[in-house]
Structure 1
Amino acid sequence: MKKSTLFPLAFTIFALFFGAGNLLFPPMLGAMAGQNLVPALVGFVITGVGLPLLALFAVARVGGGSDQIARYIPKRLALVLTGLMYVAIGPFFGIPRTAAVTYEMGVVPFLGAPSTLTLAISSTVFFGLTFFLTLRAQKLIEVIGRIITPILLLLLAAIGITNLVAPLGKPVAPAEGYETWIGALGEGFKQGYLTMDVFGALVFGAIVLVTLKANGMTDQKEASSLLRTSGMLAVTCLMLVYISLGSIGANMTGQTGTTDGASLLQAFAGSSFGQVGMLVLGAAVFLACLTTAVGLITEFSRFISNTFESLKYYQVVIATTLFGFMISLVGLGMLIEIAVPLLTLLYPVMIALVLVSITERIQRNPHVAMKATVYTALVLSLFETTHGLAPSAATAWITNLPMAEIGLAWAVPTLIVYVITLFLPKNRSNQALAQSRIS
């Protein structure tokens, strides 16, 4: 099973990761970076590929998602943080956004103008297929890994190779903030961070382990090893696609005069292949968003049904799918205003959890280390997110921290606290408690 499952599993992980944001961020970054595309992509890969890979490794090590990774902090706090993360990236933002982007990039270009009726038809078809696949969670690797993702990769490869062989333009001067290699590297680092794919790794890694178990792989060590190996293959594919899309953005911005990712891709596909190119791009967008929606609904439903035992998995799937459908019709503006600050608040916390979890073997007291590191990230992230409501003295202090200008004021203090915890004395009772909670 291990040999026959490796590549389909890697393709499944890639497809679950590769959603709307992953398609649109790289060309926008390439357009802004222009002639400094290389350092910008290096920064993007560090945070947009490296951090999610570490999160996948953390999931593989503990044998579960964020609920298992957060085992050293109080259960109620872990439940609240995990629940907020699932709600934010699930029905309140991530799920309806996949349908909205599919309509905007895969349907509207062929209509001339959007309408309520066509949006309703598009969302109905999209969520109908999503619902069908989600109720067949045991077949995710078979359907997504062996069928959908190879088609998606072929479509993306066709677009990327065309840009490599017959580019429609060449990179122009970098935009403000990207003028130097260091500036471009920092901006790429920030854009990769803003993909928030650490959330995706925690969610989709858990899906993979559950799916492997449902398909008969009962050996936890073998499943974790397979997740690590397939995860490395998946993020390698992600990196190659990011480089390709970033190059398209850098080449096309001089031709179009825009830095919008969707507009750049549509202009490239239309100019290179005409209507066929638009169909190829629309199909790629549809498949990318479909697989991400399936993954989000699957794991959100699993989390809710496991947390509230009175709710059945299929009941949560139905409710979540209907909610996502309705929100996709109403619009995402207000929900984005709510979800994005929440995601921004939680993301540093999840990175802190991953950091301590992935290095637990060198931690002398992981129980205290996780609490200290997570609480530091949570408090500073809370101040950053609500800086308008925070006391002026605290706001002034935080804005003077390293990397505060790019929204990473929490990073250096959290890293310092983490390093300090490496020198704590051992506490075997806490380690035994953690092992009992896992079992």
Structure 2
Amino acid sequence: KKLDTLFIGFMLFSMFFGAGNLIFPPFLGAGAGTNFWSAMLGFIVTGVGLPVLVIFAVSLVKGGAQAMGDRVHPVFSTVFMVAVYLCIGPFLAIPRNANVAFEMGITPFLPESTNTALILLLFSVIFFGVVYFISLNPSKMEQYMGRFIAPTLVVAIVILITVGLFKMDTPFLSPTEGYQSGAFFTGFLEGYNTMDALASLAFGIVILNAIQKRGIQNRSQLTQYTF
């Protein structure tokens, strides 16, 4: 059903929209200044275009990312996938997600005398407890993420952008050093730093599983619905 596709798409959006997607675009805009168009284009190529291509590629290959890596060499496949999961997991993405949520949602409301480290510890326990609870019910991930988390994210983003635009009272600034002559390529690197291209190797499997649970098993149909 089209409604199923919509909610699975919402789930994919909420999975992709992590801390990096919230951090890097505002910094890119502030640094690029008057060169923001070319910087934004570079960001979109690796932050949006590359993940879409990876998701599409995963849907074409039976066995997913592991099978794609095996075409190079089985050892390469294993080492590469371990590195990917460590990057999008405990080494970078997991601590970044909790810390950004804390810095934006909790820190502004704390008194200056507060023991921030202790509050961050307590927040992290609660934060990852909720994540763990959702992860224990993979069959309900689409319901949690597609029907509740994603719409909340969209509304919050629209409010944030709208308020920001109406409160802007300064002209565009001159680009900083990294954006003066190579704005596109700096944006290109910043888009990759979101790690969405790496994450899509794992997310593609989740999306395929969600579609297969709707009774779609044919490979060409799986690719069609994923796309």
Partners of 1:116 and 1:27 lie apart in 2 by: 26
Letter in 1 for 2:56: F
Matches within 5 A, 1:268-417: none
8 Å CA contact 2:69–2:76 kept in 1: the answer is: no
Matches within 5 A, 1:74-93: 74-93=73-92
What displacement does 1:199 show?
A: 0.5
1:65 CA displacement: 3.1
TM-score calculated relative to the size of structure 2: 0.90
Superposed CA offset, 1:290-311 (max 9, x none): xxxxxxxxxxxxxxxxxxxxxx
Supply the AA of the counterpart residue of 2:49. G
CA contact (8 A) 2:32 2:39 kept: yes
CA separation of 1:73 and 1:187: change in aligned 2, threshold 3 A? closer
Q: CA deviation at 1:215?
A: 4.5
Q: Once the 2 structures are TM-superposed, how far is the Cα of residue 63 of structure 1 from its aligned partner?
A: 4.0
- Find the counterpart in structure 2 of residue 155 from structure 1: 156
Q: Deviations over 1:249-278 (max 9, x none)?
A: xxxxxxxxxxxxxxxxxxxxxxxxxxxxxx
Contact 2:178 2:186 survives alignment (8 Å): yes
Quick one: distance in 1 between partners of 2:64 and 2:146? 21
Compared CA separation, residues 142 and 64, structure 1 to 2 (3 A):
farther
In the other structure, the counterpart of 2:119 is 118
2:7 counterpart residue number: 8
Aligned counterpart, 1:347? none
How far apart are the structure 1 equivalents of 2:184 and 2:75?
A: 39
Structure 1 CA distance for aligned equivalents of residues 169 and 90 of structure 2: 39
User: Secondary structure of 2:111's match?
Assistant: coil
Query: Which digits, 9 at most, give the CA deviation of each residue in 1:98-119, with x for residues without a partner?
Result: 2222222211111134433312
Letter in 1 for 2:200: A
| Unaligned ranges ≥5, structure 1 | 229-439
The residue number in structure 2 matching 1:50 is 49
Which string of whole-angstrom CA distances, capped at 9 and with x for unpartnered residues, describes residues 410-433 of structure 1? xxxxxxxxxxxxxxxxxxxxxxxx
Superposition deviation, residue 64 in structure 1: 4.4
For this pair of structures, how many residues does the alignment match?
Answer: 225
Deviation at 1:166, TM superposition (A): 4.3
- Match status 1:97 vs 2:88: no
> Does the CA contact (< 8 Å) of 1:30 and 1:37 recur in 2?
yes
Secondary structure of the residue aligned to 1:172 is: coil
- The residue type equivalent to 1:203 in the other structure is A
Residues 1:96 and 1:193: Cα distance change in structure 2 (over 3 Å): closer
Counterpart residue number, 2:177:
176
CA contact (8 A) 2:47 2:196 kept: yes
Alignment TM-score, normalising by the size of structure 1: 0.49
Contact 1:63 1:209 in 2 (8 A): no
Tell me, in whole angstroms, the C-alpha distance in 2 between the residues paired with 1:64 and 1:56: 13
Paired residues of 1:64 and 1:209 also in contact (CA < 8 A): no
Give, in whole Å, the separation in 1 of the partners of 2:100 and 2:137.
24
Amino acid at match of 1:129: V
Higher relative contact order (CA 8 A, sep 6+): 2
Q: Measure the CA separation in 1 of the matches of 2:62 and 2:164.
A: 41
CA drift of 1:144 comes to 0.5
Residues 63 and 224, structure 1, Cα contact 8 Å, conserved in 2: no
Q: Which ranges of structure 2 fall in alignment gaps of 5 or more residues?
A: none
Percent identity over paired residues: 38
Letter in 2 for 1:126: F
Could you say what secondary structure the match of 1:124 adopts? helix
- Measured in 1, the distance between the counterparts of 2:58 and 2:131 equals 25
What CA distance in whole angstroms lies between the structure 2 residues aligned with 1:11 and 1:170?
Answer: 35
Query: How far does residue 124 in structure 1 lie from its aligned partner after superposition?
Result: 1.6
How many angstroms does 1:88 deviate by? Answer: 2.6
How far has the Cα of 1:209 moved from its partner? 0.9
Q: How far apart are the structure 2 equivalents of 1:137 and 1:10?
A: 16
User: Which amino acid is 1:17 matched to?
Assistant: F
Partners of 1:133 and 1:103 lie apart in 2 by: 19
* 1:368 alignment partner in structure 2: none
Query: In structure 1, what residue type is equivalent to 2:41?
Result: V
Whole-angstrom distance in 1 between the partners of 2:89 and 2:192: 19
Deviation at 1:154, TM superposition (A): 0.6
Q: CA 1:101–1:54 in 2, change beyond 3 Å: closer, same or farther?
A: same
Q: Which residue of 2 aligns with 1:185?
A: 184
> Retained in 1: the 8 A contact 2:19–2:100?
yes
Aligned to 1:24: 23
* CA drift at 1:81: 1.6
> Match of 2:133?
132
Report matched runs for 1:107-256 at 5 Å.
107-113=106-112, 114-180=115-181, 183-228=182-227
State the alpha-carbon separation in 1 of the partners of residues 79 and 30 from structure 2.
Answer: 39
| Equivalent pair of 2:70/2:76 in contact (CA under 8 Å) | no
**SS at 2:178's partner residue?**
coil
For residues 84 and 193 of structure 1, do their structure 2 counterparts lie closer, same or farther at Cα, with a shift above 3 Å needed?
closer
AA aligned opposite 2:57: A
The superposition leaves residues 63-103 of structure 1 with CA deviations (integer Å, 9 ceiling, x where unpaired) of 44320221312223311221222123212322232222222
Using the TM superposition, name which of 204-213 and 112-121 deviates more: 112-121
